[in-house]
Structure 1
Amino acid sequence: MGLSGLEVSRLGLGTMTWGTGSDFDTEDAAAQLATFTEAGGTLVDTADVYGQGASEAVLGELLNKVVPRSDLHIATKSGVVAQGQRRRNTSRGHLLSALDASLARMGTDYVDLWQLHVNDPDTPMEETLATLDLAVTSGRARYVGLSNHTGWQTGRAVAWQRAWPGRAPIVAAQVEYSLVQRGIEREVLPACLAMDVGIIAWSPLGRGVLTGKYRFGRPSDSRASSPQWGRFVSSYLDDRSAGIVEAVATAAEGLGVSPLDVALAWVRDQPGVTCAVVGARNAAQLRGAVLADAVFLPPEIRLALADVSAPDLGYPESH
């Protein structure tokens, strides 16, 4: 993970939907965790606002029952406020309270990776980053990172932490990255490559769109048809995304694999990507994603997919 000594699995298990929705089943979450770790997975990703803490609580319930705590790299995030007028808060008081609450819900003394979920313009950067230092020196967090930050925000934070010995280095940046969302290639990815920060890609399957499940409509049991997740998916149900999905499906047919395999392998092997986080509705769906880790994309297919999904670049990125 970046320049750190932390080694994690190339695929991560996303738990954003754990503990939410009428169809959630703790036993299935246990089956997902077992399937993931049996395949060699180590990094489990969550956040304090996922289900307003429910995701962390479910993970805590499963720790040491399904898999020993020591076999996992737990990554969580703080900084988003689910309720109230202030939706972003990375002040020292809020962050430390949030981290302590996360640890209590998960029943663990530490997290392997603690990330700032968002940038908070109302808190001085120096205060926020000093809080990361405190989390590491107090033993609450082993490593720290960022999530959903812009390129300049990432570069500024990484440089600040490296400017003085003893500060906790930023080792990871968790950002959305897929064939239908390549915005990080404008500034975030170049910054991370230049500063040796590991990329954790969330939603590498384009919020499920790249699996091909929406090619001929919206299945009634899909997230796009769900009142809770419909808006989350609908932004990628446009003509541009549809063209990319067809290219992925064509590549998958030629290779004798699934569209999921192709989309996940493309992101997983991009320069700078340390881990791709995959969330699943059930254990059976997760097994398909785990098997995709063995898929290799020939260079000509990687280039063809890159061409069909290329993001718009202008000044100054293209100069």
Structure 2
Amino acid sequence: MQRRRVGDSGLQVSRIGLGTMTWGEDTDVESAGEQLIAFVEEGGTLVETANVYGDGKAQEILGAHLADGLVDRDSLVLAGRGGPPPGPLGENAARGALLAGLDATLRRLGTDHLDLWQLPGWDDRVPLEERLSAVQVAVLSGRVRYAGLVAPAGWQLATTVERARHLGNIVLPVSAQAEYSLLHRTAELELLPATRHHGVGMIAWAPLGRGVLTGKYTDGTPADSRAASAVLAPYVEARRNERSARIVQSVLTAADGLGTSPLAVALAWVRDRPGVASAVVGARDAAQLTASMATESITLPAEIRAALDDVSEPAR
């Protein structure tokens, strides 16, 4: 699998990443291990996790597999995100809370550092300088190699970068993680222009439109799908509407013409958008993940890309 630099930084990641959101919920320990092995065998490196996934279960499962030597820790780029729940040290972006949450993540993963620490969006209750100081402490102490932001608005990313430069902070955000797919192109309105201007790489989550772009919901809701899961159904339903149906039909038509799967078309579209460093996919099992990894050899023809751009054009 090809690797890409994250923005202008020296960090390199596989252009398809492995998400762990369902681990500990719809994906059990054994299936998670099979996914991890399949991912690494295909050359994948970026593994994304968060302390809110399964209330920490996802990180515990990943940490257990790393401790067992299922894959080599040094072969992975571990990207952890999110702050801890409200507590005595403050909420979300408070320095004490951020660092406590980071330490808890490291304990669950059984590692001494994160390769990429992605902080939650914006918090008006906490001075930005305090948040930046937490990142600097984390990097200078060796607990973090690079830092990024989760779902910032374009102006929030720009403000963070410029404030860090003004303070002489050597730790600038290298990534912005946000939802991005043919069904959800909001990032193009403000965030992606900001990332390109400031040399920050986009890490796209839900590139398959929360599974809707695979075409699995065109004739109903399969019993083994995320939309049939009590935990994930609301997450999927947010992307099922009339506009989505038109886009999905275009993806199905493109897949038929190319002799490939709708999944491959949708994922390749996101993966190769300007500014995207990696597209993170989740999977129920190793077979499903392998199908996503198989898109590595697929590049969409310009005319098909243009047609998909047109049908999915967001409101400006």
Output the TM-score relative to the length of structure 2. 0.95
For the Cα contact (< 8 Å) 2:84–2:97, is it kept in 1? no
Amino acid at match of 1:303: A
Amino acid at match of 1:241: S
Q: Percent identity?
A: 53
User: What is residue 18 of structure 1 aligned with on the other side?
Assistant: 23
Q: Structure 2: any 5+ residue segments left out of the alignment?
A: 1-5
| 2:39 counterpart of 1:58 | no
For the Cα contact (< 8 Å) 1:177–1:202, is it kept in 2? yes
Which aligned pairs between 1:34-183 and structure 2 lie closer than 5 A? 34-63=37-66, 65-79=69-83, 81=85, 89-183=92-186
User: What is residue 5 of structure 1 aligned with on the other side?
Assistant: 10
Question: Any idea what SS the aligned residue of 1:170 has?
Answer: coil
For the Cα contact (< 8 Å) 2:84–2:98, is it kept in 1? no
User: What is residue 307 of structure 1 aligned with on the other side?
Assistant: 310
Question: Any idea what SS the aligned residue of 2:96 has?
Answer: helix
| 2:255 counterpart of 1:252 | yes
For the Cα contact (< 8 Å) 1:15–1:55, is it kept in 2? yes
Shift of 1:80: 5.5
Query: CA 1:132–1:282 in structure 2 vs 1: closer, same or farther (change >3 Å)?
Result: same
Q: Structure 1: any 5+ residue segments left out of the alignment?
A: 314-319
For the Cα contact (< 8 Å) 1:206–1:236, is it kept in 2? yes
User: What is residue 273 of structure 2 aligned with on the other side?
Assistant: 270
Query: CA 1:124–1:166 in structure 2 vs 1: closer, same or farther (change >3 Å)?
Result: closer
Alignment size in residue pairs: 310
User: What is residue 316 of structure 1 aligned with on the other side?
Assistant: none
User: What is residue 317 of structure 1 aligned with on the other side?
Assistant: none
Shift of 1:4: 1.1
| 2:201 counterpart of 1:224 | no
Question: Any idea what SS the aligned residue of 1:206 has?
Answer: coil
Could you tell me how far apart the structure 2 residues matched to 1:172 and 1:134 are? Answer: 18
Output the TM-score relative to the length of structure 1. 0.94
After superposition, the C-alpha distances for 1:77-122 in whole angstroms (9 at most, x for unaligned) are 12253x78x9961100100100000000000000000011232221
| 2:203 counterpart of 1:200 | yes
Amino acid at match of 2:233: G
Shift of 1:2: 1.2
Could you tell me how far apart the structure 2 residues matched to 1:233 and 1:223 are? Answer: 7
Query: What is the RMSD computed on CA atoms of the aligned residues?
Result: 1.6
For the Cα contact (< 8 Å) 1:56–1:105, is it kept in 2? yes
Question: Any idea what SS the aligned residue of 1:8 has?
Answer: strand
For the Cα contact (< 8 Å) 1:88–1:119, is it kept in 2? no
Shift of 1:163: 2.8
Amino acid at match of 1:2: G
Query: CA 1:166–1:129 in structure 2 vs 1: closer, same or farther (change >3 Å)?
Result: closer
